[in-house]
Structure 1
Amino acid sequence: MILNEKIKAAVVELTGVNGEDLGIISTKEALQMAKEQGVDLVCLSLASSPPPCQLVNRTNYKEQVIKENAKNRKAEKGVKVKEIRLSAYIEDHDYDTKKRQAERILSSGDAVQLTVKLEKKESQEAKRLIEQFIKDLTHCGKQDKGIQVSGKQVVANLLPL
């Protein structure tokens, strides 16, 4: 981060404290404006000519940069998939608990994989259960693919909105 007098360019493309475009002005004028307003002149990039600079309150700018970096790191990690296991014959209270758990996971930005382990011939009940689950969670997640019915389990994936 290049601040104030360390900016060596003769002219800069200046943006005000509130994001308004102030045009291309000399660095001396920009420094004078920064001193009058009690803020700092920050060079955003050295790649272009004239370099884009902004008048900012230094503490607010540092907080903003830290927040952006944290957001970028979270985006780099990608979406985690968390599994919720169910039984084909689940009671209402347990269903509500699992639904709240799935809502919490989806609202935090992670994906949910609903898995129903099958015993005997309960694939139709399991499929109906997953369909009901997906219908109840449409306000916070969307279905990734179709419901996959394999030999011993029924699986569906939900992505956060």
Structure 2
Amino acid sequence: MLINEKIKASEVELIGIDGEDMGIMSTKEALKIAKELKVDLICLSLTSSPPPCQLMPRQTAQKKQAKEKQALNKQEKGPKTKEIRVSATIEQHDYETKKRQAEKILRGGDWVQINVRLQRKESDAAKRIVAEFVQDLSHCAEKEKGIQTSGKQVSVVLKPC
């Protein structure tokens, strides 16, 4: 981020404190205006000519840059898969709570893996519960793959649609 005297361009496209366009002017004039208003002249992009510069306090520019960097990092990493565990003998109230949790996670942009732990011969009940989750969350999610039974659990991965 280029600030004040570090801007080497002879002319800049100046944007005021409130976002109003102040036109193209020399860098010296823009710096003079910035000093009068007791703010900094911050270069927003070096790719265009003349470069767009905005009048704003340095702290505001640093916070804005940090937020953009954080959003870019989150976008790079991609969605997380969060696991929700339930038993095959789950009661209706607990089911509703887990469903709300899954919906909240999906609306946040992350994926949800629903695991139903098996204890005896409960595989039919577990498949029914997983299918019910898929059906109840179909308005905000879709299956990544089918319902999978492996060993002592039945699971499904849901991604936001």
TM range (shorter): 0.7 to 0.9
The residue that corresponds to 2:121 in the other structure is 120
1:41-95 CA-to-partner distances (Å, cap 9, x unmatched) read: 1122334332221111222111111222222222222211122233333222432
Cα RMSD (Å): 2.7
The residue that corresponds to 1:57 in the other structure is 57
TM-score computed with the length of structure 2 as normaliser: 0.77
| 1:33-72 to 2 correspondences below 5 Å | 33-72=33-72
Counterpart AA for 2:32: Q
The answer to whether the Cα contact below 8 Å between 2:141 and 2:159 also exists between their aligned partners in 1 is: yes
Determine the C-alpha separation between the residues in 2 that align with 1:147 and 1:154. Answer: 11
The residue that corresponds to 1:73 in the other structure is 73
Determine the C-alpha separation between the residues in 1 that align with 2:136 and 2:50. Answer: 54
- Give 3-state SS (helix, strand or coil) of 1:41's partner: strand
Determine the C-alpha separation between the residues in 2 that align with 1:156 and 1:14. Answer: 53
The residue that corresponds to 1:5 in the other structure is 5
The residue that corresponds to 1:159 in the other structure is 159
Determine the C-alpha separation between the residues in 1 that align with 2:104 and 2:63. Answer: 27
Deviation at 1:149, TM superposition (A): 4.0
- Give 3-state SS (helix, strand or coil) of 1:90's partner: coil
The answer to whether the Cα contact below 8 Å between 1:44 and 1:53 also exists between their aligned partners in 2 is: yes
| 1:6-21 to 2 correspondences below 5 Å | 6-21=6-21
TM-score computed with the length of structure 1 as normaliser: 0.77
Counterpart AA for 2:121: K
Determine the C-alpha separation between the residues in 2 that align with 1:54 and 1:138. Answer: 46
Determine the C-alpha separation between the residues in 2 that align with 1:116 and 1:56. Answer: 54
Determine the C-alpha separation between the residues in 2 that align with 1:160 and 1:22. Answer: 43
Determine the C-alpha separation between the residues in 1 that align with 2:123 and 2:9. Answer: 73
Counterpart AA for 1:159: K
Deviation at 1:40, TM superposition (A): 1.0
Determine the C-alpha separation between the residues in 1 that align with 2:150 and 2:61. Answer: 56
The answer to whether the Cα contact below 8 Å between 1:127 and 1:147 also exists between their aligned partners in 2 is: no
**Percent of matched pairs sharing the same residue:** 54
Counterpart AA for 1:122: S
The answer to whether the Cα contact below 8 Å between 1:84 and 1:102 also exists between their aligned partners in 2 is: yes
Determine the C-alpha separation between the residues in 1 that align with 2:145 and 2:111. Answer: 15
Gapped regions of structure 1 (runs ≥ 5) = none
